[in-house]
Structures are given as structure tokens and as C-alpha cells.
Homo-oligomer: A and B are copies of this chain.
Amino acid sequence: MTKRVTIADVAKKAGLSKGAVSYALNGQPGVSETTRQRVLRLALEMGWHPNSAAKALSGARAGAFGLVLARPASTLGIEPFFMKLISGMESAMASSQTALLLQVVPDHAAEIAVYRRWWAERRVDGVFLIDLCRDDPRVPVLEELRLPAMVVGGPGHHGALPGVWIDDTSAMVMVMEYLAALRHRRIARVGGVPGMLHTELRTEAFDSVAGRLGLEWSVTISTDYSPEQGAQVTRRLLSSAAPPTAIVYDNDVMAVAGVSVAHEMGVRVPADLSIMAWDDSVLCEITHPPLTAVSRDSTAYGAQVAAKLLALLNGEVVTEVEETPPRLVVRGSTARPG
């Protein structure tokens, strides 16, 4: 195989020292503009690429961010949110040659272990923290390790770590006011994992708006986000003596499962039951009827989070950033109750 081209090779060919070449390549002061151009051209010609290990070892960055997903693989794969978030992150990381390390783990304890190892091995320059919980045990660990981190979530509850959040509270207000305007008076919510901050924020908003609007009846039932539980809860709700006329689901796959259950039970959507999904995706478009959904731009969210982590590493002060608020996409699954 052709030998790898190192900085020494470039320096030799250029008639310069390795140091000078390094300065030229990294846009550092210390070389004249003409020299820099010459070196850059030469490096390109010779097919030089920085050895990431050497770069990392000599004090520069590892050139990688880490993302740990602590959910069962079966659930992860099915939620379009994650891949969109990831591809958004990568689009923002590309310009700075930063790679993404991905790890799927069963729980928070394993996740924390991964952070410790990654940081001890200097595998990553920073990490993204996802699915923020109240009293999240991961936050103090990251703070103590001083591992640069950006929290995907909030507001608040992430200690001194910076975070990017989407306003779930006002999105829920929007959802409820929309359903109330359609004259729904009995609304159920099939919620996500209790303890997760966005779940709790939505629950609080749901309850408080339900009270303010003077609904006849409202309830939140928690799930693990899986379509199985979504289906099961829907079945229970629709079997009750006085079923809801509208159900709000905390993700898209549970909403799709809800539609199936309605079909199965002979409940017409939206004539007998309005269904709303949280997080829009093609899944919402392929069901019959297509689902009204709370839509957020997950790719842009990912890009924003990654950009902020890069900014943090560049010494900028980043605390808490609010993403653009979600929109309501009205499709065929919601209507005035019959």
C-alpha cells in the first residue's frame, strides 16, 4: 500500500520545518500568506490528511461528539425523531470535521458508564444529553466530570449544563385550545415515560389548560412510548362507559397504533374520535385518515444543538437556547365531535 503522507513529508517537500507546516495548515499566525498557500496546495497534491490520533494526542480535540441513547432498540428504531435529530447534528458538525460516536444502552447507569469511559479515554470532546428527566442523575455526573455537554431539552432541570429546548408548554396550550374550539369536552392524553421532563411539562400544561377551559373530563395515562402500550391504553379508554372524544398521543407511533385500535373497535376517526399525534412524520401521513400533529423540525433541532456544542468548545458562553416553537399541522384525524 502507498505509505501515508505525514506532515514531515510535506515539510520536507516544501523545504520548511514541521512546525511551520502545521501553522500553515491550521491557519495559525506564524507564516506568510504566500507560504501558507504554497503549503496548502502541496498538502492537497500529496494527499495529506491529519492523523486524528496524533492531533488528539497533542492536545487538540478528539474530533468527535458522543450521543448515547438509553432506550430499547425496538422503540428507538421506530421513532423517526432520532434519525432526524442525528442527521441534523451531523450537518452542523461536518464543517468542523467532527464525527459522531453513537452508543445504544439499556439504562441511565450504563449511559453514565459510557460517559466516564469516553471522557477518560478522551474519545470525545463533548456529548449530547437526550431525554432529560427531573432530577436527572446524569447531569451531576457530567458536571463533575467537566465533560462538555449540550442538553437536548429543558427549560431548566439541567443544572449548570447548557441546553436547547422546545416550548412544549405553549405547544400543549395550542393543542388544547384547538380541540376545545372544536367543542371537545372529554379529552384524554396518552403520555410518554413519566419522569422525563418534556412528558411532565406537557402533563402540567395539559392539566392546567384543561382546568382553565373547564373541560368536563380529562386524564393523562403514562406509557413507555411503545405502540403496544399506546394500543392497550387506547383500547381501555375507548371501552369505558363515557369514552373521550379526543385523544392526544405523546408520539407518532402510539397515535398510529391508536388509529388501528379505533378501526378494530369500529370507532370512526374523526367522527367518533379525534386523534392528535405529537411529533409529525411520514407515519402521520400514511395512516387513514392522516393525522393532525404537533410538528417540530427535528433536523434543525439537531443542527442547533450541535452548533451550540461547537460554540461551547470554542469558548463561547452558552446557557439556555430556545428553539423555534412547534407548529400544529391539521390533517384529517381531528374534527368536531359528532
Which A residues have a C-beta under 8 Å from some C-beta of B?
Answer: 1, 4, 47, 49-57, 62-64, 73-74, 76-84, 86-88, 90, 99-104, 117-118, 120-123, 146, 226-228, 230-231, 253, 256-257, 260-261, 263-264, 281-283, 285-288, 299
**Chain B residue contacts of A264, Cβ below 8 A:** 288
From B63, B86, B253, contact of A286 by CB (8 A): B253
Is there an interface contact between B281 and A263, defined as CB atoms closer than 8 Å?
Answer: no
**Chain B residue contacts of A51, Cβ below 8 A:** 57, 121-122
Tell me how far the C-beta of A280 lies from the nearest C-beta in chain B, rounded to whole angstroms.
11
Is there an interface contact between A77 and B73, defined as CB atoms closer than 8 Å?
Answer: no
Beyond the given pairs A4-B120, A99-B118, A257-B286, 10 more chain A to chain B contacts, judged by CB atoms under 8 angstroms and listed by A's residue number, are A4-B122, A49-B121, A52-B53, A53-B54, A53-B122, A73-B87, A73-B88, A77-B80, A78-B281, A83-B104
Work out how many copies of this chain go into the complex: 2
**Chain B residue contacts of A49, Cβ below 8 A:** 117, 120-121
From B81, B228, B286, contact of A282 by CB (8 A): B228
Say whether, besides A260-B287, A282-B227, A286-B228, A123 and B52 are in contact (CB < 8 Å).
yes
**Chain B residue contacts of A253, Cβ below 8 A:** 282-283, 286
Tell me how far the C-beta of A301 lies from the nearest C-beta in chain B, rounded to whole angstroms.
12
Is there an interface contact between B104 and A74, defined as CB atoms closer than 8 Å?
Answer: no
**CA–CA, A264 and B263, complex, Å:** 11
Tell me how far the C-beta of A141 lies from the nearest C-beta in chain B, rounded to whole angstroms.
14
